[in-house]
Amino acid sequence: MANGYKRGDVLIPMLNEIAGELPVLQRQGQEFLLKQSSLALDNRKLNVVEEQQKYQNEQAKEQQELAQKNMIEQRTFRDKQAKIREMNTMLQSAKSPSQKAMIYNNFGQYDMAAQVKTEGDKVEDDNAIVENYWSESLGSSPNDVVIAGKSALGSIDLSHPNYSSIAERTDKAYQEALNPYRDMMNDPTYEYQAKLLLAAGKMPNADMQGIFDQYESMKARYLKGKFGGKDDEEDDNGKLLSIDEQAEQLVSGFLDGDAFKPKDSLDIGPQTELDVKQVATQVEASSEVNIGKLQSSLPKLENRKSILDRTAKLRKLTDIQTKELEQINATIKATKDEVKRQRGSLKQARKETKPFYTSPTATKFSSL
């Protein structure tokens, strides 16, 4: 009876009570899970809202920083433009390159200041040269006008406002200076030499005094040959000159005199080691110039020789043309021989001035 009571009277009601409570527990569990899910969803929504707010805040901050940066850059740009306008206004009122250079320096543009100063120095130098040219050439003879003009044109810049007028005036004076030599220049005997001198006189750095001296020398020979006196092919002792000797005289004319005697030098010759080096330095400079002059004369001679040679193959040359061809051939040979001699002098001079120097021009002057 006791066992039956325990099992029936206690457990059954308990089980019934538990069975009746299960749906409630299940419902409560489901409600809890729903609440947990809802809470998790709400948390995710809050996180999304927070992230969006954070992103918006960052974007707003970036926009603000960018706007501030742009404002600073614009202010800097405006300040810079204002300084440039101020500098340009000051430059427009500047009256000399030195003032412009000072303005550039004040605004921190040091490269422009240096460039303007260099250009200004060149302009001032050119203006001084032009001023000296006009003071020397006004009222002077055509020869002096040409000499002064060549000197000025060889020094001033091509863009100088006075360059064209000086060049035109020099050319007119050159033509006028040649008037006393027109008859001689048209003489077949002197025509070719005169053409060489005429072309040489039009070179930018021509030695016009030397060229005029050669014209005078040729004119003297022309007049003596035409009106009597010493023959134009005789030397000072009256000895008849050969074609080769005449060629050597013409080559000497190319060089404008003794290439190895320094200007205003004494006749006693070098006395010390220093004197030898000074002479060697002068010889080195003059030999390089002389080689250039001689080499520049060869194309004209060889071109004329080619014309006469081709003409000779078509018909017989006239006596004057034959004599001219002989003189040209002799002059070409004499010119090449003189180049070799000048090269030897140049080499010896460099041994004195630069014992261990190997000139890059050695190959240049080694062949004709």
pLDDT greater than 80 at residue 234: no
pLDDT greater than 50 at residue 79: yes
3-state SS string for the chain: CHHHHHHHHHHHHHHHHHHHHHHHHHHHHHHHHHHHHHHHHHHHHHHHHHHHHHHHHHHHHHHHHHHHHHHHHHHHHHHHHHHHHHHHHHHHHCCCHHHHHHHHHHCCCHHHHHHHHHHHHHHHHHHHHHHHHHHHHCCCCHHHHHHHHHHHHCCCCCCCCCHHHHHHHHHHHHHHHCHHHHHHHHCHHHHHHHHHHHHHHCCCCCCHHHHHHHHHHHHHHHHHHHHCCCCCCECCCCCECCHHHHHHHHHHHHCCCCCCCCCCCCCCCCCCHHHHHHHHHHHHHHHHHHHHHHHHHHHHHHHHHHHHHHHHHHCCCCHHHHHHHHHHHHHHHHHHHHHHHHHHHHHHHHHHHCCCCCCCHHHHCCCC
6-41: pLDDT as tens digits: 555 666 666 666 666 667 677 777 778 888 888 888
Read off the pLDDT band of 152 (50, 70, 90): confident
pLDDT greater than 60 at residue 73: yes
pLDDT of amino acid 246:
56
pLDDT of amino acid 72:
92
pLDDT greater than 80 at residue 272: no
